[in-house]
Structure formats: structure tokens, C-alpha cells
Amino acid sequence: MKVAMTVRKRVMIFAVMFVASVRQAKMTAVTISFNWRSSCSCRVRIALNLKGLDYEYTGVNLVKGEQNSPEFRKLNPLGYVPVLVDGDVLLSDSFAILLYLAEKYPQHPLLPSDLKTKAINFQVNFYFLSL
């Protein structure tokens, strides 16, 4: 009987810890403003999904010029997408957003842990960003 109580107690402790971690994850909601046609926006959306993060989507219609609205220009004066808002952090460059997500949310890493491989990854990314 003591063994069964110990297992039951462990399961209850695990369940409480799991629920607490889920509540904490939902409190840190990430909001992203982007357009489906933008490759930079797609890059960020892919990273958010690979990391398994919940995020709120705000669409920006580039054809209608919504990126030039005063509301959007408050987020990004240049009018570019994507824009990521995470609490008091506001970022509007896809590469900066990817680096931020990689550091703040270490689960499901976007970059390799090996320094040499990570440097080669950065080299390739910087090359394609310069085109």
C-alpha cells in the first residue's frame, strides 16, 4: 500500500508541475505581425512553429498598404514585416527575431550546439541575406 501511495504522490506532483509550466508558457504570449507573401515573415513563422511556441497572428495586407498605417508604423517606422512583440520586446528584423527566439526559448534549438557548425550556419545565412 505504501508503494502505491508513493507512485500516486509522484504522479500528482508531476501533474501539478506540468499544469504550472503550461500556465506559465501561455502567459508569455508572442504576437507576430506578418504577411504570407513575405519570405522574412515565413522564416519567423517556421521558427515559431518549430519551437512549438503559441503566438497570436496579426495579418498585414501589403497589397492594400496596411504596412503604412499609423498603427503599424508605431510598431515599425520603416513599415517592414515581420514584427514580433514579446512582452516589452519589439523586434522588426527577421534575423534579429530568429536570434532572439533561439536565446529566449531554448527548447527545440534552431541552431546546432557545435560552435564550428553554428559559425558555418551564420556564414551561409549572412551570404543569403546580402543577396
The full 3-state SS of 23-48, as one line of letters, equals: HHHHHCCEEEEECCCCHHHHHHHHHH
Q: Is the pLDDT of residue 50 over 70?
A: yes
Pick the more confident residue, 126 or 57: 57
Q: Each residue of 59-107: pLDDT tens digit?
A: 999 999 999 999 999 988 889 999 999 999 999 989 899 999 999 999 9
Every domain of the chain and the residues it spans? 28-129
Q: Is the pLDDT of residue 130 over 80?
A: no
**Domain over 28-129 is classified CATH 3.40.30.10:** yes
- Residue of 21, 38, 39, 130 marked active site: 39
Decide: residue 113, CB within 10 A, 0-12 exposed, 13-18 middle, 19+ buried: exposed
Pick the more confident residue, 61 or 28: 61
Residues 6+ away with beta carbon under 8 Å from 21: none
Q: Lowest mean pLDDT of 13-22, 39-48, 70-79, 84-93, name the range.
A: 13-22
Indicate the pTM of the whole model: 0.69
Provide the sign of the torsion angle of the four alpha carbons 94, 77, 104, 126, taken in this order.
positive
User: Any catalytic annotation for residue 39?
Assistant: yes
- C-alpha–C-alpha distance, residues 64 and 32, integer Å: 19
User: Predicted confidence band at 10 (pLDDT cuts at 50, 70, 90)?
Assistant: low
Q: Is the pLDDT of residue 5 over 90?
A: no
Closest-CA residue to 97 (of 131, 67, 64, 55)? 55
